[in-house]
Amino acid sequence: MERRTFLKTSLATSAFSAVNPAFAHTIVLPDYDVPTQYEPREVDLLTQLEPWEVHVDPAQFALFWTLPDNKAIRYTVGVGRPGLYEDGEFYVARKHEWPSWTPTPDMIRREPEKYLQYADGVSGGLDNPLGARALYLYTPERGDTYLRIHGTSDVSTLARRVSNGCARLINTHLVDLYNRVPVDSRVVLYPVNQEVRILTTENELVVVDQG
C-alpha cells in the first residue's frame, strides 16, 4: 500500500467520529474538502531529527511528527499572525478531546470587540475555536504558555498566518496527530522566516499567502 493511501485510510478509520466525554452523544466530523497537497503523508527526512517529536516549520506551514529511520508524517498547518507567532522549545503537558476555550487576557485586550463576549469561556464542540482536540504547550520555566496545537473546521486557514500564535490543523488531521503524540512529547517551533528548517526528499516549499 502506498504511503499516501495508508495515511488517508488511517484518517478515515480513526478520525471521523469521536466521543466527547462532556456530551451524551457522538460528534461526527464532516468530510472536509482538503486540497491534495495539504493531506498528511509520510516523508523521508534529510534533516536529522530524533523520533517521536513534533517539529513545526512555519516557512513550509508544515508540522512533522518524527518517526524512526529518519521518517516523519507531514501535516499542513496554519500558524500565528505576524507578531503573535512564538518560536522555541516546548513540551506537551496536557491533551484534551473537545476542549473548552477561553480567550487569553492579551487577546481580549487586543480585540475586545471580538473576544470580550467569550470571557467566560466556550464549551467544546465543532464551533469551538480549538476544534476537536488540543495539545497544550508548556515550558519548565513558564508553565502554560497558552500556545496550543489544535483543530479547526476552516480549511481556508491552512498554510496561512492567521492564528493568535497557535498551530492549527484541520480537525480530522488533528485527531490523527493527537492519537499519536503522548504527553511529555518534545515540541519545537522554528523561527518564522523564509528559511526552510526541515528538509525532506520531497524538497518542497508550498507557495501560499504569507498575510
- Write the class of the CATH domain 3-189: mainly beta
The per-residue pLDDT string of the chain (211 residues; one tens digit each, 9 = 90 and over) reads 344 443 544 554 343 334 444 543 478 898 999 999 999 999 999 999 999 999 999 999 999 999 999 999 999 999 988 888 999 999 999 999 999 877 777 777 887 777 676 666 677 788 888 999 999 999 999 999 999 999 999 999 999 998 877 899 999 999 999 999 999 999 999 998 878 899 999 865 444 444 4
5 Cβ contact partners less than 8 Å away, ≥ 6 residues apart: none
150 is catalytic: yes
Distance CA 209, CA 140 (A): 34
Which candidate, 98, 85, 52, places its Cα nearest to that of 160? 85
173 is catalytic: no
Q: Are 63 and 31 in contact (CB under 8 A)?
A: no
- Find the catalytic residue in 55, 96, 150, 173: 150
Distance CA 113, CA 18 (A): 33
- Find the catalytic residue in 25, 96, 166, 173: 166
Helices and strands of the chain, counted as H and E runs? 4, 13
Distance CA 100, CA 128 (A): 7
Q: Which helix (H) or strand (E) holds 59?
A: none
Quickly list DSSP for 101-169: B---HHHHHH-HHHHGGGTT-B-SSTTSTTTTEEEEEEETTTEEEEEEEEEES-GGGTTSEEESS-EEE
Enumerate the domain spans of the chain: 3-189
Q: Are 128 and 111 in contact (CB under 8 A)?
A: no
Query: In this predicted model, what pLDDT tens digit does every residue of 124-173 receive, in sequence order?
Result: 788 888 999 999 999 999 999 999 999 999 999 999 998 877 899 999 99
Distance CA 70, CA 174 (A): 22
Torsion of CA 105, 110, 115, 117, to 10 degrees: 80
